[in-house]
Amino acid sequence: MSAQIRESRDKSVGKGETLLEVRNLKKYFAVTEGVVRRRAIGNVKAVDGVSFTIARGEILGLVGESGCGKTTTGRCILQLETPTSGEIVFEGVNLEKLDQKAMVAWRQKIQVIFQDPYSSLNPRMKVGEILGEPMRVHRVEPNAAKRRQRIAELLTVCGLPAKFADRYPHEMSGGQRQRVGIARALCLNPDFIICDEAVSALDVSIQAQVINLLEDLREEFNLTYLFIAHDLSVVHHLCNRVAVMYLGRMVELAESDELFDNPMHPYTQALLSAVPVPDPTVEAQRSHQVPKGEVPSPINPPSGCVFHPRCPLAVDSCRAQVPEFRELKPGHWVACPRV
Amino acid sequence: MNKILDFWRRFRQNRAAVGGAAVLLIVLLVAAFGPWLYPTDPFDMVGRPISAPFGKFPLGTDISGRDILAGLIHGARVSLLIGIVASLCATVIGVTLGALAGYYGGLIDDLLMRSTEFFLTIPSFVLAVVIVAIFSPTVVTVTTAIAVVSWPSVARLARAEFIAQRDREYVQACRAMGMADWQIVLLQILPNALPPVIVVGSLMVATAILTESGLSFLGLGDPNVVSWGYMIGVARTVLRLAWWMAAIPGVTILITVLAINLVGEGLNDALNPRLKQR
């Protein structure tokens, strides 16, 4: 199944017009102490200088372990968090410069699909009401009959019977709810959808269905995705390009096949070696690179390259200097001076 | 409609709550229609003072020869009205402040919660006495005083509920689609945060009736209307001579408050079905 769909993936996308650009994004959360007077005693550097671009029609994967800042990056793009510094440019417009009204209008173009299909739908609203919300907020389709028709359309597109509009979320399965979440994201005809671990909470057979649905929808509506995930095989299957994050920094960015066939950063190599191979004989013979130690705390990240305490290639200069994000091959960026 | 039937089915499983609801319904009916069915003015001196029950007057007369049954029936109206209105006001104030504090957090939360705690540190009955003593005791000031001392617990509960809901993904989705804050708070979070607040609000009616009785007992009730607490207050000087005079309104308060508490418990079970299956 996976090979069949990967063949159909259009390799030419990702070189077209830039839809979204993130420049040197930083998001620090203050850690405070004291009851009467709050003193900042440190910052959690959730995202620390991340830059990337996404072309129209592309699927960019964002991978990394828990707490590496991938979800925070997505939330900053959605403007659910105010970035500490850095710029987010969408269709050539800097989001920071938008006023309140323009921001609301801009929100039509960018949507999100969440991880947990159980908490992402309001338990006290019917599916039809949930899908009608975005249209009501943005005053599209004020005609009730047309709105119902559009909701039925959306449900059908997402592979659900139109009569589900009268159901409550608790009357549906996890996969069905996630399809409702996708239908809600599609409601306003967005250009860009952030999938924040959109399939991680689903079991494997449902995952495959939802991934295929996401691919079909991308083709049908010319969508662009930022696909945040920790499941590498899913990312390899779905994405055109993949970015790897570690402790708030981006360590490697390349075309999907290039990254998986030829990982350069030691962290990426370790990450990929952790993916099991389905053949037990091959799996038994493979050498596993397990990075030594634990992920350091983002409150006090290591100096220089954040990966140096766990890196097999580290030398003294890694402790002192923050590595530059270099383009080693066309389109293959790595933040490591040792490769 | 389905929802209401479903609710009733769950509520019905708690026998005590159904009994409480029946008693409460009778008290409400008496409060609403009693004065027409038994039009004797509770302030009229209709007979000899301190006559025992089951004589010429069904429940006897008090120290001024006023009909106790008339006082009970007319007093039901005042006691329930003050209890319900004060609880409603307290719930509205509490939910509003709790929602603001819980949803926005930060400085607003600090300001609102510190002032809530300020109210919580003062013994509520003493505060109610002070408020009524400063302003002249009328039905309105008594109601206000009870509302003022009751809202902090609701505010804390509502705040906790809003904090729990605020970071749920359906709220994030609403923010991401550009929904205005007031719509998120009122239309999205509030229906999910309300069930525990309704339970606390219903139990607060019982407390409010007790507070009103306490105020009236101390002579701080509205002198122009009869309430159950006032009747106990009047009877306390002859407690050893005519115990029933205080006992009759006292038992009435006991039964009403008990009924309200049972209904509140039943609401808790019916609105939080998962909690009940412990």
Please report the residues numbered 72 through 131 in chain B whose beta carbons come closer than 8 angstroms to any beta carbon of chain A: none
Alpha carbon B200 to chain centroid distance? 10
- pLDDT for B273 equals 56
Q: Which of A103, A133, A196 to mutate: most B Cβ within 10 Å?
A: A133
Contact A107 B178 (CB under 8 A): yes
Side chain identity, residue A11? K
> In angstroms, what CA-CA distances link B134 with A184, B101, B130, B131, B152?
56, 30, 6, 5, 21
As a three-state string, the secondary structure of chain A is: CHHHHHHHCCCCCCCCCEEEEEEEEEEEEEEEECCCCCEEEEEEEEEEEEEEEEECCCEEEEECCCCCCHHHHHHHHCCCCCCCEEEEEECCEEHHHCCHHHHHHHCCCEEEECCCCCCCCCCCCCHHHHHHHHHHHCCCCCCHHHHHHHHHHHHHHCCCCHHHHHCCHHHCCHHHHHHHHHHHHHCCCCCEEEEECCCCCCCHHHHHHHHHHHHHHHHHHCCEEEEECCCHHHHHHHCCEEEEEECCEEEEEEEHHHHHHCCCCHHHHHHHHCCCCCCHHHHHHCCCCCCCCCCCCCCCCCCCCCCHHHCCCCCHHHHHCCCCCEEEECCEEECCCCC
Is B179 part of the contact surface with chain A (CB cutoff 8 Å)?
Answer: yes
CB count in 10 Å sphere of residue A266: 24
d(CA B72, CA A194): 65
Residue A66 lies in a domain: yes
- In 3D space, the residue among A186, A178, A180, A184 whose CA is nearest the CA of residue A132 turns out to be A184
- The amino acid present at A130, given as its one-letter code, is I
pLDDT top residue among A86 and B54: A86
* CATH code, domain with A259: 3.40.50.300
- B chain contacts of residue A111, beta-carbon cutoff 8 Å: 176-177
A197 CA: distance to closest CA in chain B (Å):
12
> For residue A11, what pLDDT is reported?
45
pLDDT at B49 over 80: no
From chain A, the residues in CB contact with B175 under 8 A are 80
Residue B86 predicted with pLDDT over 90: yes
pLDDT of res. B276: 44
Give the CA radius of gyration of chain A.
Answer: 21
Contact A182, A155 (CB under 8 A): no
pLDDT value at position B278? 39
Q: Under an 8 A CB cutoff, do A120 and B169 touch?
A: yes
- Torsion angle (degrees, nearest 10) of CA A313, A315, A318, A319: 130
- Mean pLDDT per 10-residue section of chain A, whose length is 339 residues: 42 66 89 73 86 91 88 90 89 84 87 88 88 87 86 90 89 89 90 90 85 90 91 89 91 92 90 82 76 80 86 85 87 87
Determine contact, residues A63/A70, Cβ cutoff 8 Å: yes
Q: What token pair was written down for A164? A: 């589900």
pLDDT for res A59: 93
Q: Is residue A52 part of a domain?
A: yes
Query: What contacts A210, CB < 8 A, 6 or more positions away?
Result: A175, A178, A179, A182, A198, A199, A202
Nearest CB partner across the interface for A119, out of B168, B175, B180: B168
Task: Please indicate if any CB of chain A lies within 8 Å of the CB of B188.
Answer: yes
| Interface touch B178/A116, C-beta < 8 Å | no
Percent of chain B with pLDDT over 70: 97
**8 A C-beta contact, residue B271 and residue B200:** no
Share of chain B above pLDDT 90, in %: 30
Q: Cβ separation of A137 and B179 shorter than 8 Å? A: yes
Evaluate whether ipTM surpasses 0.85.
no
Higher-confidence residue: A212 or B58? Answer: A212
Indicate the number of domains in chain A: 1
Question: What pLDDT shows up at residue B10?
Answer: 80
User: What is residue B89's predicted lDDT score, i.e. its pLDDT?
Assistant: 95
For residue B39, the distance in angstroms to the closest alpha carbon of chain A comes to 47
Inside any domain, residue A224: no
> Looking at residues B81-93, what average pLDDT do you find?
93
| Domain with A74 in it | 3-107+231-334
| Count of residues in chain A | 339
Chain B interface disruption, residue of A111, A119, A136, A184, most B CBs within 10 A: A119
Please report whether residue A73 resides in a domain.
yes
Subunit contact B178:A103, Cβ cutoff 8 A: yes
What is the token pair recorded at A297?
């705390």
Handedness of CA A315, A316, A319, A320 (dihedral sign): negative
**Alpha-carbon distance A2 to nearest alpha carbon in chain B (angstroms):** 30
Residue A126 with chain B: CB contacts under 8 Å: none
Is the Cβ of A184 closer than 8 Å to some Cβ of chain B? yes
Whether residue A111 lies within 8 A of chain B, CB to CB, comes out as: yes
Q: Could you tell me if residue A19 is inside a domain? A: yes
**Taking 90 as the threshold, does the pLDDT of residue B23 lie above it?**
yes
Query: Whole-angstrom Cα distance, residue A80 to residue B169?
Result: 12
What pLDDT is attached to residue B97? 94
In sign, the C-alpha dihedral spanning B168, A185, A245, A95 is: negative
Tell me whether residue A281 is in a domain.
Answer: yes
What average pLDDT score do residues B91-99 get?
94
Note whether B176 contacts A123, CB cutoff 8 Å.
no
The yes-or-no verdict on residue B7 having pLDDT over 90 is no
Q: Strand A249-255's sheet: what is its strand order?
A: A110-113, A192-196, A224-228, A59-63, A241-246, A249-255, A332-334, A326-329
The mean per-residue pLDDT over the stretch B69-87 comes to: 89
Do residues B30 and B69 touch, judged by C-beta distance below 8 A?
A: no
Bridge partners, residue A196, by sequence: A228
- Beta-carbon neighbour count of residue B117 at 10 Å? 12
**CB contact A139 to B (< 8 Å):** no
Query: Is a pLDDT exceeding 80 seen at residue B185?
Result: yes
Task: Mutation target for A interface from B1, B3, B177, B194: give the one with most A CBs within 10 A.
Answer: B177
For tokens 């019982």, the residue is: B206
Inter-chain touch A138–B177, beta carbons under 8 Å: yes
User: Distance between CA B159 and CA B103 in Å, rounded?
Assistant: 8
Model confidence over A246-296: pLDDT tens digits? 988 999 999 999 999 999 999 998 888 887 777 888 877 777 777 777 788
Q: In whole angstroms, give the CA distance from residue A62 to residue A57.
A: 16
Q: Are A80 and B183 within 8 A, CB to CB?
A: no
Q: Does A296 map to a domain?
A: yes
Q: Show Cβ contacts of residue A3 under 8 Å, excluding neighbours closer than 6 positions.
A: none
Q: For the beta carbon of residue A229, count every other beta carbon within 10 angstroms.
A: 23
Q: Which chain A residue has its CA at the smallest distance from B179's CA?
A: A137
Side chain identity at residue A153, one-letter code: E
pTM score, whole prediction? 0.80
* B262-274 pLDDT, tens digit each: 998 888 778 765 5
- Bridge partners of residue A28, in order along the sequence: A45
Say whether B170 and A115 touch across the interface (CB within 8 A).
Answer: no
For residue A104, the chain B residues in CB contact (below 8 A) are 178
The answer as to whether A9 is a domain residue is yes
Dihedral Cα B175, B178, B179, B184, nearest 10 deg:
10
Taking CA–CA distances from A100, the nearest residue in chain B reads B178
Number of inter-chain CB pairs under 8 A, A vs B: 50
As a whole number of angstroms, the distance between CA A199 and CA B167 comes to 20
If you measure CA to CA, which chain B residue comes closest to A180?
B170
Q: CB–CB of B179 and A133 under 8 A?
A: yes
